[in-house]
Structure 1
Amino acid sequence: MATYTEITTLPEWENVLQKSKEKPVLLFKHSTTCPVSAAAYREFTSFESDVDAYLVKVIESRPVSNEIESNLGVQHQSPQIFILSNEEPIWHASHWNITETKIGQALQSI
């Protein structure tokens, strides 16, 4: 299983945005009650990479999820995954488009 850091607070989210100025980061927004999100979560956690990865549980950490939507200007969906660079989403996908293969392809293209 790939390692990731869970984000539960707004300062943690701000820290992730700052880190994206130094190098790209992977961010996964996960609904713990949705079967589609569970499938995407398995894809996300199966993906092995040196890229720093972060997880936000959208129900448990609603203020963080809302702030991500506001900061990135991308309408909330869950599940949803982003590659962030310089505080901007340079790639994102949702629902069944979140696969280990597509994550890898997106990271290779940056």
Structure 2
Amino acid sequence: MGILDKIFKGNNETKSTEKRSQTPWNELKTELEIQQVKEESKEKVIVIFKHSTRCGISKMAKRQFESEYNYSEEQVKLYYLDLIANREVSTKVAEVFGVFHESPQMIVIKDGNVVYHTSHNHISAEKIGEFVS
């Protein structure tokens, strides 16, 4: 295992892989789904995680987020937005919710409005708990 593997994968790759596979991601792939997200946020907290698959910082933020994430699907619906494959959707999310585009980025939506957003090393799944009833 090289030094970069140790930094990006950690020493306990099996445990983190298991945790990631349990993270209930829903892909956000079309502009039409954005209105659905807004409506769903009236029933439960929605989180959009914008991720660049080409960026090491984004990969680290996603891995950390997944290791912290511990909410049920009844509490939070979690969306994953691949910025490379769906750039136009990311642009539309920024426009609809009035949030400047960043990557990686976490956007928390409740009752149709953004209640919190952050990016890079400030992303924390624990923060979502402040918005869960």
TM norm. shorter chain > 0.5: yes
The number of residue pairs the alignment matches comes to: 106
The answer to whether 1:49 aligns with 2:71 is yes
Q: 1:7 matched to which residue of 2? A: 28
Contact 1:31 1:59 in 2 (8 A): yes
Q: Provide structure 1 residue ranges, at least 5 long, that are not aligned to the other structure.
A: none
* SS across alignment from 1:109: helix
**Structure with the higher fraction of residues in helix conformation:** 2
The answer as to whether partners of 1:28 and 1:44 remain within 8 angstroms in 2 is: no
2:50 maps to 29
Q: Tell me the CA shift for residue 14 of structure 1.
A: 1.8
| Larger-Rg structure | 2
Given the alignment, which residue of 13, 27, 39 partners 2:60? 39
User: Counterparts of 1:33 and 1:23 in 2: how far apart (Å)?
Assistant: 31
Q: RMSD of the alignment, in Å?
A: 1.2
Distance 1:39 1:69 in 2: 23
Compute the displacement of 1:39 (Å): 0.6
- TM-score, normalised with respect to structure 1: 0.89
Shift of 1:97: 0.7
Q: Structure 2 stretches of 5 or more lacking a match? A: 1-19
- Tell me how far apart the structure 2 counterparts of residues 60 and 16 of structure 1 sit (CA, whole Å): 19
Code of the residue aligned with 2:108 in structure 1: it is I
Structure 2 residue identity aligned to 1:25: I
2:102 aligned with 1:77, yes or no? Answer: yes
> CA shift at 1:86, angstroms?
1.6
Name 2:123's counterpart in structure 1.
98
How many percent of aligned residue pairs carry the same amino acid? 33
Deviation of 1:45 after TM superposition, in Å, equals: 2.3
The residue type paired with residue 104 of structure 2 is: P
Q: Give yes or no for contact 1:84–1:90 (8 Å, CA) kept in 2.
A: yes
